[in-house]
Amino acid sequence: MAEDLWYWKYKLTARQPVNAKSQRREFVGALVRIDEGFGCLHPWPELGDPSLEKCLEDLAGPRRWSLVRRTVRSAKEDADARFIGDPLLEEIDVPKSHATLPWQDDRILESAVSKGFDRIKMKVGRDRAAEQRYLIEAAAKFPNLRWRLDANETFEPAEAESFLLGLPEEFRWKIDFVEDPCPYAESTWSALKSRCGVPLAVDREAAPVSSAAQVMVVKPASDEPWLLAEAAVSMGQQVIVTSSMEHPLGQCAAAWEAAKLNVQFPGLVGVCGLQTHHLFTPCPFSERLGRWSPEFQSPGGTGLGFDDLLERLPWKKLS
């Protein structure tokens, strides 16, 4: 039987640019409705994804891209749960999250600490000297925080090394990991790890074959979590599941995958990156995810949640 296929385009507005690869403040994506299930499609063209239009075309047609396939997979699981009235996120523990802080802002850092975050993920690679000063000061003010630095591959290997060695040793001990310091290569990453003494985390394409990384970042929006988790186990890595900084429905899909992996592979999943709705101006969906906190709050409803809000969207038929 042919599928019933609908979409609704959304726009998220960030308070400031959210990573070193992108100066955009507005991010478009789509919620999709496949029969009775809902999923989120949120491409990052600056990180190599096809445009939203291309993704929607692919969704209506061959479904070649993993981003699109993952959305379909998630919507089907959502449909099954809705059919039996099962609220996915209310019957399982979602791992805690770090505070995603794309901007160096004292007030936001203080707010993160007061809300109980003990790990901070900061974007680096835009203004290195300022970032180093900021990190040193922030660590002096909040000595118990641990840091996750995400460079989105903006450094050359030598720059990554000088950036990290330019941080005091006491600070380097507080680094949980550095994510994508430079493009992945076994030799450069191994050298960086041994010279700087900090764990490295790998994100996106390189992930399944990245034995020089200590941490694997899994984004369920585009990755198949189970396969990557098995690869991580075989390489002795820890897994961190993150959102794709997408619509709250997609965040819930990522949270659900994080919770499942945590059950399927006990001890594998570390503190995740699932709390990203505060980066954007609030909407009725993000309000359901509650205040910014290390604990993920279920939005309520069946499946991935938001039943009433989803029902009310002006869905368009995809053909």
How far is residue 53's CA from residue 98's CA, in Å, rounded to a whole number?
32
**Cβ partners under 8 Å of residue 42, min gap 6:** 27, 29, 30, 221, 244, 245, 246, 247, 250
**φ and ψ of 103, to 5 deg:** -120, 145
Checking phi first, is residue 170 left (phi over 0); if not, alpha (psi -120 to 50) or beta?
alpha
Only segment of 80-88, 157-165, 184-192, 241-249 that touches ligand OSB (CB under 6 A) = 241-249
Q: In angstroms, what is the minimal distance from the CB of 67 to ligand OSB?
A: 11
Q: In angstroms, what is the minimal distance from the CB of 210 to ligand OSB?
A: 15
What is the DSSP pairing of strand 238-241 with strand 215-218? parallel
Only segment of 3-11, 194-202, 242-250, 303-311 that touches ligand OSB (CB under 6 A) = 242-250
Q: In angstroms, what is the minimal distance from the CB of 249 to ligand OSB?
A: 15
In the complex, residue closest to ligand OSB by CB? 273
Among 27, 38, 44, 280, binds ligand OSB (CB under 6 A): 44
Question: Do residues 28 and 50 touch, judged by C-beta distance below 8 A?
Answer: no
Among 262, 276, 286, 298, binds ligand OSB (CB under 6 A): 276
Q: How many residues bind ligand OSB (CB under 6 A)?
A: 14
Near ligand OSB in 280-319, by CB under 6 A: none
Task: Decide: residue 267, CB within 10 A, 0-12 exposed, 13-18 middle, 19+ buried.
Answer: exposed
Q: In angstroms, what is the minimal distance from the CB of 148 to ligand OSB?
A: 8
Near ligand OSB in 84-143, by CB under 6 A: 100, 121
Near ligand OSB in 190-219, by CB under 6 A: 203
Task: Decide: residue 102, CB within 10 A, 0-12 exposed, 13-18 middle, 19+ buried.
Answer: buried
Only segment of 70-78, 112-120, 206-214, 240-248 that touches ligand OSB (CB under 6 A) = 240-248
Q: Is 247 in the site for ligand OSB (CB under 6 A)?
A: no
* Nearest Cα to Cα of residue 278 among 99, 59, 39: 99
Task: Tell me how crowded residue 294 is: count the other CB atoms within 10 A of its CB.
Answer: 19
Closer CB to ligand OSB, 210 or 244, in the complex:
244
Q: In angstroms, what is the minimal distance from the CB of 242 to ligand OSB?
A: 4
Among 167, 228, 245, 253, binds ligand OSB (CB under 6 A): 245
Could you tell me where the DSSP H helices lie in the chain?
52-60, 66-83, 106-114, 128-141, 157-165, 169-172, 186-196, 225-234, 248-264, 284-288, 307-311
Closer CB to ligand OSB, 44 or 65, in the complex:
44
How far is residue 136's CA from residue 263's CA, in Å, rounded to a whole number?
37
How far is residue 107's CA from residue 113's CA, in Å, rounded to a whole number?
10
Q: In angstroms, what is the minimal distance from the CB of 121 to ligand OSB?
A: 5
Among 188, 242, 286, 298, binds ligand OSB (CB under 6 A): 242
Q: Is 243 in the site for ligand OSB (CB under 6 A)?
A: yes
Q: In angstroms, what is the minimal distance from the CB of 2 to ligand OSB?
A: 33
How far is residue 146's CA from residue 144's CA, in Å, rounded to a whole number?
7
Q: C-alpha angle 43/280/10, rounded to 5°? A: 45
- Return residues touching ligand OSB (CB under 6 A): 19, 44, 47, 100, 121, 150, 152, 203, 242-245, 273, 276
